[in-house]
Structure 1
Amino acid sequence: MKVLVGLSGGVDSAVAAYLLKKQGYDVTCCFMRNWDSYANNDIAGNPTIFDDQCPQEQDYADAKKVADQLGLPLQRVDYIKEYWDDVFQTFLSEYKKGRTPNPDILCNKYIKFDKFYERAMDLGFDCVATGHYADTLTKNGFTYLTRSKDQNKDQTYFLCQVGAEKFAHTLFPLGKIEKPEVRRIAAELHLESVASKKDSTGICFIGERNFREFLSNYLPSQEGDIVDVDTGKVIARHMGVLYYTIGQRKGLNINHIKGPWFVVGKDVQKNILFVCHTSRRSWLHSDACLVKDINWLLPDQNEIPEHCTAKFRYRQKDQDIQIEPIDETSALVRYPQTVASVTVGQEAVFYDGMKCIGGGTIEQVYQDGVDLNEKIIQAGEVRS
């Protein structure tokens, strides 16, 4: 069976490629180049907006060393414009609305399991493979996305928007092993370029830059008031309401009043950031949310369970929920025990035991049947 594996220049995809070869697959590697600062500046019409700090060329060199050591062919493909159009522009559009998008989910949806997947199929490959910590289970002719053995590294959250039909032609070689074993295999194979390489964290196109500084190149900062929602008083100034996320407690520069303080809401139109003191964290807790653009990873929507669990952010503990479908791609999700910092623009990902059964974008967050952000804005105004 012919497999095209995405080789990123990291240890996970390197070991994935090795395991596939060991298992007898006909393996070809492919490095995806998704971000180039200079090329993107040309697309943006501003060739001097910032310096190139994305380490993709080093990643390609590491991928090439791995492919050579494993005796596997390596292709290289550019998806710079596609990434710019489908991932980065969506990322910016969401931030302009005061929302908090997840670019990793967008990248999997539009690049790795769209452009890359279709390229593999067009070239006659039977499957694609990646170094994600995820697994699959085929039952009654349908392939489910399931959690990996390594629960600490499980990445099904980021795969929730991939078309369900594509998992039948996708291999996840790391699904049944844990990260320490991956490192051990890489060291045993003397893959020096990746064996001890630091895991990539954060957002690819930002790299080691300061997030706020990077974003200001595209969404200029506009200072405004930080308001204590419980008193309505202005207690500090922010650098731009778009740069903060719900639940954030660092980088608020509220040093003159004992904290900690938490971001609880935004008035994007008036450029006001609302915060609360640690003693009143109830402003962070919601009991329901509206989820739209749900991608169900089930053979039939009649299989949607009324009660299951969800993650409202990556690495969050599973939360017990009740799903009330509204239409094929929307649902009201209830969690009467309340959950902190459920954030508009982020992804709600649903699980039925080990199965990842879908995910969608959080559109509104409620507390006692009322839109929580509107409730916070009104409370802050009433008290001012």
Structure 2
Amino acid sequence: MFRKIAVGISGGVDSSVTAYLLKKKGYEVLGVYMRNWDIRDEQGTCSSDKDLKDAQTTCDFLNIPLVQVNFVKEYWNEVFLQFIDDYEHGFTPNPDILCNKFVKFNYFYKYARTKLNCDAIATGHYANTSFGNYLENYQQGQHVKLLKARDTTKDQTFFLSQIEERSLRKTFFPLGNMLKRDVKQYARKIGLQALADKKESMGICFIGSRNFQHFISDYIVDQPGDFIDVDTGKVVGKHEGIHHWTIGQRAHLGGFSQAYFIAKRCFKNNIIYVAPGTNHPALHSSLFFTDQPHWISHDPLVQSNCFDCAFKFQHINDLSDCRVMQVEHGMVVRVNGVKRGLAPGQYAVFYKNEECLGSSRIISTGVTNFTLNMLEYLRRKSNQNQQTEQTHAYG
């Protein structure tokens, strides 16, 4: 049923081994290099040029054709502009999730299916599906689930949590049951030594090796403001703009006995509240609110307005148990315990056992444990005052 497969070739070891494995199984493989970003850095170099050269080398080695497709406009409009708008309004975006949602599993998928007449696509992501790595269990009309990869440290379902089921139904993930170290060893074995030793790209593609604060200042005008201690209300430093900072990040303020960390950003008055100490309660929350969720294969809230699952809001996080409740404009999520550094704009990605259910964008983190502790302190203080007044009254 699936004969011709378009493989997203990035110039890295994962996509190259993916293409090799598919060809070895007898599929007609077509490499597709997506150019999503072409602005040069301060040194006048563009990483896309080097990656394209590596992609061509891989395809020549495998004796498969390579097609180049330009999605720069689409990436700019649907990923990068959203990234900038989020930072301007005090949100913490995740462009990797948006890139998969809008570019790789939307525009690339449609291009492969309609322009290249391919039966399916394949990528080097570390993920699995209920249809199998090579869609060997494909069933027409049956829902497909996104499942975690065998390599738990490389699992990339977090970044795939916003893709559509229609794309997932016809996507191969050949590396889903392989460990990263085995992929590199396999690449060396088949003659792709240079790619196995190639340094992996880390971070956001359009920033590259540049300093983030320098990069963001090219697109958003700096607006200096105050760092204020959440405990004392005193000004403890100056910042160049809220967009330079995210919740939980170290503020790097000198001259204090304890390091300060970003606790809250007030966009209207350009104030950043900082908390002394990495475990300050102002950095922890046990409740947050999201927009409408995106569920990949099925809506777990259809039969009930709440359910228990696990979630994480950063790729490197461990999963945390939570209860999800449906409300009119989104969801309320109560965490079993507390989480440090939750920030508006991040994605909460939900899991049930091995399945990645989908995700939802965090809109508000509600009150922090610091606020709750303060309210409890004020309540007790009020009760003590009332008891003292009653004692004096009945003296």
Q: Identity over aligned residues, as a percent?
A: 39
| Residue identity matched to 2:24 | K
The answer as to whether partners of 1:150 and 1:178 remain within 8 angstroms in 2 is yes
- In structure 2, the CA distance between the partners of 1:116 and 1:13, relative to structure 1 (3 Å rule), is same
Q: Secondary structure at the match of 2:112?
A: helix
The aligned counterpart of 2:359 is 359
1:326 Cα deviation after fit: 2.1
Where do 4+ consecutive residues of structure 1 move more than 6 Å?
Answer: 368-372
TM superposition score normalised by structure 2: 0.87
Question: Is 2:339 the partner of 1:346?
Answer: no
Indicate yes or no: 2:195 matched with 1:198. Answer: no
The one-letter code matched in structure 2 to 1:114 is: N
The corresponding residue for 1:132 is 125
Preserved contact between residue 36 and residue 52 of structure 1 (Cα < 8 Å):
no
Indicate the residue corresponding to 2:257 in structure 1. Answer: 258
- 2:290–2:361 contact (8 Å) kept in structure 1: yes
Q: How does 1:20-99 map to 2 (within 5 A)?
A: 20-37=22-39, 52-99=44-91
1:29, 1:58 → 2: CA distance? 16
Determine if contact 1:136/1:145 at 8 Å carries over to the other structure.
Answer: yes
**Which whole-Å CA distance do the structure 1 matches of 2:284 and 2:263 have between them?**
9
Judged with a 3 Å threshold, the aligned counterparts in structure 2 of structure 1 residues 184 and 279 are, in CA distance, closer, same or farther, namely: closer
Shift of 1:50: 6.0
- Equivalent residues of 2:285, 2:369 under 8 A apart: no
How far apart, in 1, do the equivalents of 2:70 and 2:191 lie? 29
2:161 paired residue number: 160
Secondary structure at 2:282 match in 1: helix
Deviation, 1:190, is 1.8
**2:10 aligned partner, one-letter code:** S
Aligned length, in residue pairs: 360
Contact persistence 1:62–1:193 (CA under 8 A): no
Cα gap change, 1:209/1:229 in structure 2, threshold over 3 Å: closer, same or farther?
same
Structure 1: unaligned runs, 5 residues or longer: 39-48, 376-384
> Which one has a bigger Cα radius of gyration?
2
1:225 aligns to what SS in structure 2? strand
Structure 2: 5+ residue runs without aligned partners?
Answer: 132-136, 376-395
Counterpart-to-counterpart distance in 1, 2:346 and 2:272: 19
Q: What is the TM-score normalised by the length of structure 1?
A: 0.89
> Does the Cα contact within 8 Å between 2:282 and 2:368 map onto a contact in 1?
no
CA deviation after TM superposition for structure 1 residue 370, in Å? 11
Aligned residue identity for 2:127: A
* Residues 162-185 of structure 1: CA deviation (Å, up to 9, x unaligned): 012211100111100000001001
Name the SS for the 2:182 alignment partner.
helix
- Could you give the per-residue CA deviations for residues 87-122 of structure 1, whole angstroms, max 9, x where no partner exists? 100000111111000000010011001110000110
Q: Distance in 2 between matches of 1:248 and 1:366?
A: 19
Please give the secondary structure, in 2, of the residue aligned with 1:325. strand
Instruction: Answer yes or no: is 1:121 the counterpart of 2:120.
Output: no
Shift of 1:369: 10
Give the root-mean-square deviation of aligned CA atoms.
2.1
1:195 deviates by: 1.3
Higher strand share: 1
Aligned in 2, Cα 1:158/1:303: closer, same or farther, shift over 3 Å?
farther
